[in-house]
A and B are shown apart, each in its own frame.
Chain A
Amino acid sequence: MKNILNAAFALAVVLFAVSCKKEKEDPITDNTPTVTTGNVTLEIEHVIQDLPMSLNQSYVLNNGDTMSFTTFKYYVSNIQFVKADGSVWSESNSYHLIDLSDEASALLTIKDVPMADYVGMNVMIGVDSLHNVSGAQEGALSTTNGMFWSWNTGYIFIKMEGTSSQAMNGAFTYHIGGFSGANNAIQENALGFNGSYLMARPDAVPQVHLMLNVQDLFENGIQTDMNSMVHMPGAAAVAVSSAFSNALSFEHIHN
């Protein structure tokens, strides 16, 4: 019996050592000699009247509204690429702030994508609920980005401000967020590549182009004449984030 006990204990100690070491091991150090990943760029084109949208420029929409944007920022997070068999690869720490005042922010580099052919992708507009309750965070989720509600904790997922001739006071403010219950404004968007393949390779940097049709968003999604100010979580915020997500579509891929 004593031997069995000793054996069980020794085995347990070994298991313990192995399992605990595994936990601490950095996956990056676990690389094999051959490179099996590549980078992918993801470009989001913001389009009005078939042209790239700029801040502080006046646009006349088909509904007669004359609009301009002073602020246009939003979070793209939890990016995943989907293979034909339905399996997915998820970008780690996948939080990106797109800010039209900084053109480069709409061009993301997704690093270390495993070599494969992908048929689609998943993106989240907003920040998942866990990261709305996780305290102080770095990078895109820093509180210095003007996308954080201080008094009612949570990220502003989408921030759009500007002028609209149809809005009651001639201006609109959309600060969209909310991560719980009926006020959950997080949008998960599955975008198929319409038969194209994203070919992630070690020696190539393929480009995925998405389009955010801002014209369609304000002609058919958001009505500035009905509700030109949304600045807290609620049904109105959910409606705006839903329309925003619907305005995002897959364009094409350069492999």
Chain B
Amino acid sequence: MRRFFTIFLVGSFLLTACRKDVENSMVGDENLLIPNHIPVANYNAPLLHQNTWVDMGRKLFYDTSLSIDSSISCASCHAQVHGFADHGLDLSQGFQGQLGTRNSPAIFNMAWNSSFMWDGGINHIEVMPVAPFTSEVEMNISMLELVQRVNNNPQYAAFNVILQGESVYSDAHILKALAAFMSKITSFGSRYDAMRQGILTFNETEVKGYRLFQEYCNTCHAEPMFTDYTFASNRNRWSELDPGRYRITMDSADYGLFKVPTLRNLSYSNPYRHDGSEHSLDIVLSNYLKAGEEYFSGDARIQHLYALTSDDLQKIKSFLLTLDDPKLLSNQEISEP
């Protein structure tokens, strides 16, 4: 019996060993400083560990020549100083100042996302940038032109991510490099994260706010990423002009629903909501007290929030501010090269 147990034990160890070999798992990667309370990322970028890909992605991210008139880069609407959201604008300005229809999201911790954009229409981090590149109101460049510009720019030749047998960069090289860099834009340096690691303790107001948060908010804005990646609305979704998730699924049950945003780094990424229509955290929070036709007529998961008091909201706010991570704004590894 003991022999069988031994064989079983050794066997399962070997299975695990083999699997690890293939998966390139990010678990326990000291390079990325991912604390233990954070789950495994959704995107296990095999290239993430190779600095040359990350460096190329970083240059691409900050390169204005990737918009058709060389006016804007990814960073124009995803600025580090704003937690990789836009500079306080409701809607972002793309090619020739044209406005998009949705608020530019703060793109940190994207490797944990299962879908991208407010409507979740994009299913993979590597193909995510194709949308802003090719959108007529954003960077307005064809993927063909973009590939040519990268190959014609001698500064990119230095990255040497080209594999054996390949002579030029393909769109896949460029997109994987961007995905590798975006995966490096992580934010787990908040006071909340330090509290979770036992490095500090919250003050009394923050503790109360945290408890209220767990009781009232955590269902959708689930710890520790502060989103459950579902689609929801905290308004009457039928009053939305933007069909949201419906645009992707064509299912009326999804009309007016948008991805639950993370609540990390709120101090840097205002305004809020998919349309940038709520300009301060106080406005966002106070709207949760407005039970009525315009508010709460959608998601059953927030129907009980009207029971909160203004005092409760202030406590929740003090907790939310513990989710700010100033290191995200100062991390030079992800700043403009």
Contacts and interface: CB of A to CB of B under 8 A. Distances in A.
A232 B121 CA distance: 12
Interface in B59-108: none
A134 B144 CA distance: 20
B123 A136 contact: no
Interface in A126-144: 132-138, 142-144
A192 interface: no
Given A134-B124, A152-B248, A8 B3 contact: yes
Nearest to A235: B250
A148 B122 CA distance: 11
Given A12-B11, A151-B131, A136 B171 contact: yes
B143 A136 contact: no
A19 interface: yes
B109 interface: no
Given A23-B22, A151-B131, A16 B124 contact: no
A136 B169 CA distance: 13
B12 to A, nearest CB: 11
B172 A138 contact: yes
Contacts of B176: 135-136
Interface string B1-37: 0110011001100100110011000000000000000
A137 B14 CA distance: 32
A144 B250 contact: no
Contacts of A19: 14, 18
B179 A136 contact: yes
B10 A9 contact: yes
B126 interface: yes
Contacts of B14: 12, 15-16, 19
B130 interface: yes
DSSP majority for the B interface? Answer: helix
A201 B225 CA distance: 58
A196 interface: no
Contacts of A151: 117, 121-122, 131, 135
A114 interface: no
A152 B6 contact: no
Given A12-B10, A151-B131, A143 B143 contact: yes
Interface in A1-29: 1, 4-5, 8-9, 12, 15-16, 19-20, 23
B147 A144 contact: yes
A152 B119 CA distance: 9
Nearest to A137: B172
A94 B10 CA distance: 39
B175 interface: yes
A34 interface: no
Contact of A136 (B127, B133, B134, B142): B127
A26 to B, nearest CB: 13
B125 interface: yes
Given A151-B121, A152-B248, A153-B123, A136 B18 contact: no
Contacts of A20: 17-18, 21
Contacts of B22: 23
Contacts of A134: 124
B236 interface: no
Contacts of A162: none
A153 B127 contact: yes
A234 B176 CA distance: 30
Contact of B171 (A5, A9, A15, A143): A143
A93 interface: no
A31 interface: no
A136 B143 CA distance: 12
A71 B123 CA distance: 27
A20 B15 CA distance: 10
Nearest to A141: B172
Contacts of A232: 250
Contact of B18 (A16, A143, A150): A16
B170 interface: yes
Nearest to B18: A20
B112 to A, nearest CB: 16
A153 B124 CA distance: 8
A232 B248 CA distance: 9
A4 B175 CA distance: 52
Contacts of B10: 8-9, 12
B50 to A, nearest CB: 16
A3 B117 CA distance: 59
Contacts of B144: 144
B127 A135 contact: yes
A136 B3 CA distance: 48
Contacts of A16: 14, 17-18
A43 B144 CA distance: 27
B19 to A, nearest CB: 11
A20 B20 CA distance: 11
A140 to B, nearest CB: 12
Given A20-B18, A138-B170, A143-B130, 7 more contacts: A12-B14, A135-B179, A136-B124, A143-B143, A150-B130, A152-B248, A153-B127
Interface of B: 2-3, 6-7, 10-11, 14, 17-18, 21-22, 117, 121-127, 130-131, 133-135, 142-144, 147, 170-172, 175-176, 179, 247-248, 250
Interface of A: 1, 4-5, 8-9, 12, 15-16, 19-20, 23, 132-138, 142-144, 148, 150-153, 232, 234
